[in-house]
Structure 1
Amino acid sequence: MSFSRGSTLRVHFKHTHETAQAIKGMHIQNATKYLKDVTLKNQYVPFHRYNGRVGRCALAKQSGWTQGRWPNNSAEFLLHMLKSAESNKAPQMRRRTYRAHGRINPYMSSPCHIEMILTEKEQIIPKPEEQGAQKKKSLKRS
C-alpha cells in the first residue's frame, strides 16, 4: 500500500474530481495509460457530477455517458501523483508573490487537495477440505 498526497495544487477542483473518479479502481498501468490518452485527447473523462455547461463529445459512446471533457492539467497532476505514489514520494509545490517594500506574500488561489491510495489486489485462498477432525491434546502442567 502506498500513499501520495498533494495540497493546494493549482488545478480546478471539479475537473480533478471527475478525472479521479474516472481512474478510481483501475490498475496503475491502466490508469497511467488512460491519463496519457486524456492528455492526447484519445479518450475523454466523463463528467457525472459537475456537468453543468459541459458539452457532449463523440467519444461518449464508449462509456454510455454523453457529457465529457479532456482536462489536460488535472490529468497531468494525477499522472504525476501516480508516479509519486509508485515511488512513495509526495510532491511539494509552493508559490509566492513579491510585494512592495520587500514584502513577500503567499500566492492565494483556490486549493485542491488530493490523496491517492494504491492497494494490491486481494487474492482469495481456497479453504482446505476437512479430513477428520483431529483434536490437539494440550499439556497441563501442575
Structure 2
Amino acid sequence: MQANPKASFPKEWGKRVCGPSDLLGQELQNFSISARQPTFPSKPSLTTQVAEMVRYAATEIQPAKSARARGAYLRVSFKNTRETAQAINGWKLQRAVTFLENVKEHKEAVPMRRYAGSTGRTAQGKQFGVSKARWPKKSAEFLLGLLKNAEANADAKGLDTGALVVKHIQVNQAPKQRRRTYRAHGRINPYMSNPCHIELILTEGEEVVQKSDAVVEREHLNSRQRGARLRKAITAA
C-alpha cells in the first residue's frame, strides 16, 4: 500500500526535540567562533609609548615646566663632547649658544678638566681657571643642534624662551664602532670610533630675590657663640 504524500500529520510530529548531543554540538560551535575571533587588550597611544620608552637621568625635574632633547649613537667624540657639555651646564640658553658659536670661531675655548691628556695650553682657558683648553668644533655643532631643538620644544609648550637655563646635560658613552687599519708585516689593528649619547633639559630660571637688610647684617656666629647667646637669653627670661 503506497503512502499518500498529501496526507496530513499532527504538528507535534514536526517539532524536533533537542537531545544532549545537540546541546554539546551547539557549545562546540560557539567555542569555535570565539576561538576564531580572539580579543586583544587595547594598545596604548603612541604618546604614552614614547613617554614610557624615553627616560632621562634627571627624574626630579617636572616635564610640564621643562623642555627636553636628546640624541643617541651620535658620531662625535665622547670625551670632547663631555667636556663641552660640562662647560655650559647651568648656563642661560643664550649664553650657551653664544659660547658654542665662539668655540667654532676659536674666540673662546672649552676647558679640558677630566679628559685632558696630551692637551695643549692656551690663554683662553684662564676664564675657567685652567691652562688646558681646546676648540672641539664638531662637538659644539652637535650641542648647538640639541639646544635649538630643546628651545623649539619649549616654545611649543609656551615657556619663556628668554629665561631658559640649561638645568641638566649629560653625555654617555655609546657602543664603539669598529673599523680596521692595515699595518706593516701583514698586521691589522682596530680603528675604533667613540660615539656618545647626549641628553639635556631646559627649565625657566628662578627669579632672584634680594636678601633683606636683617639677613645681610646678621652676625655669623660659631657654635660656641650661639650656645652662649642662647644661654644668656634663657637666663634673662
Residue aligning to 1:132: none
SS at match of 2:96: helix
Q: 1:118 aligns with which of 168, 186, 202?
A: 202
Residue aligning to 2:126: 61
- Flag as ranges the 4+ runs of structure 1 deviating above 4 A: none
SS at match of 1:65: coil
Report the Cα distance in structure 2 between the residues aligned to 1:125 and 1:53, rounded to whole angstroms.
44
Report the Cα distance in structure 2 between the residues aligned to 1:71 and 1:124, rounded to whole angstroms.
34
Residues 46-81 of structure 1: per-residue CA shift (max 9 Å, x gap) = 000000111111212222201010000000000011
Report the Cα distance in structure 2 between the residues aligned to 1:121 and 1:61, rounded to whole angstroms.
27
Residue aligning to 1:78: 143
2:97 maps to amino acid: T
Q: How much has 1:88 moved relative to structure 2? A: 2.2
Alpha-carbon spacing, 1:62–1:4, altered in 2? closer, same or farther (3 Å):
same
Q: Which structure has more RCO (C-alpha within 8 Å, separation ≥ 6)?
A: 1
SS at match of 1:7: strand
2:206 maps to amino acid: E
Identity %: 52
Q: How much has 1:109 moved relative to structure 2? A: 4.9
Residues 5-54 of structure 1: per-residue CA shift (max 9 Å, x gap) = 00011100000000000000000000000000000000000000000111
1:8 maps to amino acid: Y
Is contact 1:18-1:49 (8 Å) kept? yes
Is contact 1:8-1:110 (8 Å) kept? no
Q: How does 1:87-102 map to 2 (within 5 A)?
A: 87-88=152-153
Which structure: larger Rg?
Answer: 2
Q: 2:97 aligns with which of 32, 39, 56?
A: 32
Q: How does 1:127-138 map to 2 (within 5 A)?
A: none
- Equivalent pairs counted in the alignment come to 108
Q: TM-score, normalised by structure 1?
A: 0.71
Q: Which runs of 5+ in 2 are unaligned?
A: 1-65, 155-191, 211-237
Q: Which runs of 5+ in 1 are unaligned?
A: 90-107, 127-142
Report the Cα distance in structure 1 between the residues aligned to 2:195 and 2:129, rounded to whole angstroms.
32
Alpha-carbon spacing, 1:33–1:124, altered in 2? closer, same or farther (3 Å):
closer
Report the Cα distance in structure 2 between the residues aligned to 1:65 and 1:7, rounded to whole angstroms.
30
Report the Cα distance in structure 2 between the residues aligned to 1:2 and 1:119, rounded to whole angstroms.
7
